[in-house]
Structure 1
């Protein structure tokens, strides 16, 4: 069994679902692992990960609209606001989504469904440099 790790750096421009499927899939291919388990981890508290449809971009728009309704940015609504009015809502959105995934690797590729894509879900309004930690263990 072989193991590989990588830190993927993603620049965000503000609140958005940023596709990272290709970067992750390309890295898995580079490792040469044919069968294994990929762990994708987001070590932040104001952005998260999600697996969603990757064919129709309106899905991403609807998700963003849903989260704006579910966890609004309203001044005075939250006690924690040391980094601005979007800080506490970002923490809550992260708590409602995922910080990590385990994805099987089959035939040298992450086993995404035909319409699935992996996204970094940025919850802050300002640009950030985010890290995604990848760990892959498996057989070549």
Structure 2
């Protein structure tokens, strides 16, 4: 990746998919990620009889709902060439499908 010469500004991240999302969250203790995943799976279970969009399997519609409830775009300020995240913050690409292909994230400064 080419280094950005811009030292201050706003970094926008955008995921080009409807069944994954971007998230800024605790990045110190992995149990926070596990708890978020478990909570979301309880909130949006697979095999709900109300789903009609099931063409690609039991995780198809739940993945779209999870993506709609989270974010497909993040904006993070940067200064001195570094993202201004908090001490414990990390950026996650949250995959909502069991099996997926390659994911693309667009970065704009």
Normalising TM by the smaller chain, what interval?
Answer: over 0.9
Cα distance, 1:128 vs structure 2? 2.1
Count the aligned residue pairs.
Answer: 109
Matching residue of 2:104: 131
**After TM superposition, where is structure 1 displaced by more than 3 Å over at least 4 residues in a row?**
none
Give TM-score scaled by structure 1 length: 0.74
Give TM-score scaled by structure 2 length: 0.94
Matching residue of 2:71: 98
- The within-5 A match list for 1:4-23 is none
Cα distance, 1:75 vs structure 2? 5.1
The answer to whether structure 1 residue 121 and structure 2 residue 94 are counterparts is: yes
Select which of 3, 8, 17 maps to 1:44.
17
Matching residue of 2:46: 73
Q: Which has the higher strand share?
A: 1
CA RMSD of aligned residues (A): 1.3
Cα distance, 1:98 vs structure 2? 0.3
